[in-house]
Homo-oligomer: A and B are copies of this chain.
Amino acid sequence: MFLRLVNRIAATVFVAIVSLASALTAAEPAPIAIALHGGAGTITRTAITSEQDAAYREILSSAIDYGHTRLLAGADGLDVVVEVIQIMERSPLFNAGIGAVMTWEGKHELDASIMTGANLDAGAVAGVTTIASPIAAARAVMEHSPHVMLSGAGAEVFARDQGLELVDNATFTTERRKNALEKYKSKVAARLTPDKDYKYGTVGVVVLDANGDLAAGTSTGGMTGKRWGRIGDAPIIGAGTYANNASCAVSATGHGEFFIRYHVAGDICSRMQYQGISLTQAADTVINGELARVGGEGGVVAVDVRGNVAMPFNSEGMYRASIDATGHKTVAIYGIDD
């Protein structure tokens, strides 16, 4: 009688524990989140045709869905960052890979960087001209070299040794960017101020994966008409890209010189970590406070370890998309969620 009672109680407790465990698992799957940008600038409804608007929204939407599906399946955050950035590097719509802007000499010099928040490993390439996927090269630097940042012809030797795909520099050229360079050079020749959009456009992705690890990556062709081996913020760890599981993952786009001087990506993470403020507060303070005050145009996408997403920008628009930990999806170009 007593033993049966003990057995009954034990069985009940066992069932309760199993139910509780499965309830907990069902109620709180590991949060995942992803956000991406395709550049910030003077992007307004009047400057963009409805066809362009639709084309951008389609690729932003499909890229974010692809990344989210991969994260749901348990993919590593670094894999997702690289794969989603490669979707944009291959698209002529964005200033990265194919579709990159042109230098003063009519060439393409590409920059990229990547970082994992798990152990602060990072990699970057600057001023590369023949590497098909700069973000893949940045990851190879991180994983297969003792260095963080490689540049120019040397970085290409490294990429070749790593078996990465090399292409002719002209592979990245599009009519749109040729025209932009001509327009830029004629304005400079006439001593007129070029349209400020020559400075903008970069792609970037930040993720929280199912392991709870943050990662960030950025890839760009830089600034139309750039000279003298100019390096912007995109390949600078701490400026264009940063990730730390203790705070957040950030990828920036905008007028790179300001983003270097204000070490934007690192500063957003530092404010969150040291001031104990939210991701949204930290990102807003830097983008709409510090940078806006001095005319440093641009924006960031950022995610924290709870899967919160922030995508502030102080320019007219920023191509962007996100799916946060609650599953809420945003695809937008202009003002708030528009």
Residues of A within 8 A of B (CB): 115, 120-122, 126-127, 145-155, 157-158, 226-232, 236-239, 242, 256-257, 260-263, 266-267, 270-271, 274-275
Contact = CB atoms under 8 A, between A and B. Distances in A.
B154 A122 contact: no
Contact of A229 (B150, B226, B228): B150
Nearest to A120: B261
A53 B257 CA distance: 41
Q: List 3 A-B pairs, minimum CB-CB distance, nearest first.
A: A154-B229, A238-B263, A154-B228
Given A239-B237, A267-B270, A270-B270, A148 B275 contact: no
Given A154-B228, A238-B238, 7 more contacts: A146-B257, A147-B226, A147-B230, A158-B228, A242-B263, A270-B271, A271-B274
Number of copies of this chain that the complex holds: 2
A333 to B, nearest CB: 27
A139 to B, nearest CB: 15
7 contacts: A126-B126, A147-B228, A148-B257, A150-B228, A158-B227, A237-B260, A263-B266
A151 B150 contact: no
A262 B120 contact: yes
Contacts of A126: 126, 151, 231
A231 B150 contact: yes
A275 B238 CA distance: 19
Contacts of A148: 256-257, 260-261
A222 to B, nearest CB: 10
Contacts of A146: 257
Contacts of A231: 126, 149-151
A147 B238 contact: no
Contacts of A226: 147
Contacts of A120: 261-262
Contact of A152 (B121, B127, B275): B127
